[in-house]
Structure 1
């Protein structure tokens, strides 16, 4: 069978590239790449979900795990971030056809319903392909993805958006990941509880009888399963507000008194660095110490 000739432009490109030798005139023949050299951290990656992260999600779904454990699992997990080509410059050829002259590769970011920017990340390659078939999956450790999110001025990182089990990493957890530090949710953070107690003691506001912190309803996320196609709520991975502050006020306060007490407390919280760094968003619940029966 006669040897098929290469198209002219390909043959010309090969000739210009030096043919059987490199640009220095050294022959390609006999060269090889070291088979045992590791070129990056994921050269044997099969694209599947990290086992530790999968186990943490299963624990959260069953109610035996916490969202803090999911974030801890992410700290050592590989994820994929989507990169897409973005046209930088076009040119018009002699035939009048427009063609791409330059393009850049850019991170994909999302905008949440509340206007905050979010970086999507994916626990496995298939999830990214389903979400954006044209995006290029780039494997990175989740800590590096979180660092990229901070660089892009994103306030959230969303793992597996559009899937059955999306998980939102809110700003404090995202910053902890980026700095490779342990994350404690604000509703379980002793430093946050201390600021709340100090805000009452320092202000000495007679209208405030008690204050406490708990997990807000905003940490809940809805996951679909084969058994429950309508979805079920799990305690973690929601967009927030994640901190519920319950305040017990003096009975009989009018609206002006309530507003004054709340304004004083919130001003104190805003000035406390530990509170500002640990808390993403707050839900305030007022409690009557003597509810009517």
Structure 2
């Protein structure tokens, strides 16, 4: 029987892959990439399915039995996937006359949110990533590490499972809290912010009362239209100002602008609040 030859492109790939040994000359035979002794594969037993804690927290939120803060808290220990895409940097011709990749770059995929901010897509499972971008490579990381990547990429949002049945957006303050591995308190339940806003409003004699609550941007919807009380992209904090009666419209605008300037200059407020909705009543 005549000897069968490998197709040229396969032979070229094998010839450039180091053969039976790695680049250091060590044989591949007998090696295992599994086990606690392998420092390169933290998730070598990973099945690619969503983290159970995150899934439970998200299902509770959708069912109206959980909170946005509980979903973010579940991410503190959750394994997620970031999407990596290989882009050709330089081509070269092999000794077999075939064009091959000489250099390739791996790029972290980012998105632009509707409000223009940069966002990092993150996926709870390999399937959700593959459905969103079939050519992307999944890289397993803990969610706090993904949050660090978002900060490094100057992304202000984490978007979990874009295009899925339930997309959950982690806004900037929560992303920073994850990256720093500390608890996140939503601005609309943060009692310390009430004092900050009240102090700023006290400088405006026309303000009679201040109230903080969750804004409409906190909510999101599932793919089938179910309203969910969390996971939205913002604005997440509503400041309601009750003003004295009889003010002209230009006076109302002056009070609102002065309060916004004061809050924008307060470092703690800026750190804890992603986006603000101001409501005026008289």
Q: Deviations over 1:105-159 (max 9, x none)?
A: 0000011111111100000110000000010000000100111011111111100
Q: Deviations over 1:36-58 (max 9, x none)?
A: 43433211010111111011011
Q: CA deviation at 1:191?
A: 2.0
Q: Give, in whole Å, the separation in 2 of the partners of 1:270 and 1:24.
A: 56
Checking the alignment, whether the CA contact within 8 Å between 2:84 and 2:137 is kept in structure 1 is yes
Which residue number corresponds to residue 247 of structure 1? 241
Do structure 1's residue 145 and structure 2's residue 146 form an aligned pair? yes
Checking the alignment, whether the CA contact within 8 Å between 1:191 and 1:275 is kept in structure 2 is no
Aligned CA distance change for structure 1 residues 210 and 79 (closer, same or farther; 3 Å): same
Q: Give, in whole Å, the separation in 1 of the partners of 2:18 and 2:66.
A: 58
SS state at 1:266 partner: helix
Give matches, 1:40-79, under 5 Å.
40-79=41-80
Which residue number corresponds to residue 264 of structure 1? 258
Which residue number corresponds to residue 112 of structure 1? 113
Q: Give, in whole Å, the separation in 1 of the partners of 2:121 and 2:99.
A: 32
Q: CA deviation at 1:17?
A: 5.0
Do structure 1's residue 283 and structure 2's residue 277 form an aligned pair? yes
TM-score normalised according to structure 1 size: 0.85
Q: Give, in whole Å, the separation in 2 of the partners of 1:168 and 1:241.
A: 12
Q: Which moved more, 1:1-10 or 1:273-282?
A: 1-10
Checking the alignment, whether the CA contact within 8 Å between 1:18 and 1:25 is kept in structure 2 is no
Gaps of 5+ in 2: none
SS state at 2:163 partner: coil
Give matches, 1:1-293, under 5 Å.
4=4, 10=11, 31-33=30-32, 36-39=35-38, 40-91=41-92, 100-201=101-202, 203=203, 205-224=204-223, 229=224, 231-288=225-282
Aligned CA distance change for structure 1 residues 197 and 161 (closer, same or farther; 3 Å): same
Checking the alignment, whether the CA contact within 8 Å between 1:191 and 1:274 is kept in structure 2 is no
Q: CA RMSD in A?
A: 3.0
SS state at 1:130 partner: helix
SS state at 1:121 partner: strand
Count of residue pairs brought into register by the alignment: 279
Q: Give, in whole Å, the separation in 2 of the partners of 1:274 and 1:105.
A: 37
Aligned CA distance change for structure 1 residues 99 and 24 (closer, same or farther; 3 Å): closer
Aligned CA distance change for structure 1 residues 264 and 69 (closer, same or farther; 3 Å): same
Q: CA deviation at 1:94?
A: 11
SS state at 1:199 partner: helix
SS state at 1:238 partner: coil
Q: Give, in whole Å, the separation in 1 of the partners of 2:142 and 2:18.
A: 37
Q: Which moved more, 1:255-264 or 1:51-60?
A: 255-264
Aligned CA distance change for structure 1 residues 148 and 256 (closer, same or farther; 3 Å): same
Q: Deviations over 1:203-224 (max 9, x none)?
A: 1x22100111100000111113
Gaps of 5+ in 1: 289-293
